[in-house]
Amino acid sequence: MGSITLMHYLVLGALLFCCGLLTMVVKRNAVGILIGVELVLNAANVNLVAFGRYRGAGIDGQAAALFVIVLAAAEAAVAIAIFMNFYRHLTTVDVDRGDLLRG
């Protein structure tokens, strides 16, 4: 009792995942959705590192987490750039305002 097991990390990861998913679904602000995405990616990172530490013989998990972090950073950069481009046209980043293309 008291020691932190793999289970704890996994539950944390699952919670993060749920929070992120909820954010992505609920938020109408593009930046909000992006934050949800980051939460889910970090859930994956927690899982990867925890699995790597508790189950692994090598550093595969940790290495994978590093890659995911880089991906998340790149994705955020691209996404923010696109949000700004959208903002220039509509002066908002509310995704519901993107209603030109539909059908």
Q: Which residues bind another protein (CB under 8 A)?
A: 3, 5-7, 10, 13, 17, 20-21, 24, 30, 33-34, 36-38, 40-41, 43-45, 47-48, 50-57, 60-61, 64, 67-68, 71, 74-75, 78-79, 81-83, 85-86, 88-90, 93, 95, 98, 100-103
| 41 within 8 A of 19, measured Cβ to Cβ | no
What are the angstrom distances between the C-alpha of 98 and each of 10, 77, 90, 102? 37, 21, 9, 9
Residue 57 CB, shortest distance to another protein, in Å, is 5
How many Å apart are CA 58 and CA 24, to the nearest integer? 34
How many Å apart are CA 94 and CA 87, to the nearest integer? 9
Residue 62 CB, shortest distance to another protein, in Å, is 11
Strands (E), the chain: none
Residue 33 CB, shortest distance to another protein, in Å, is 5
Residue 15 CB, shortest distance to another protein, in Å, is 12
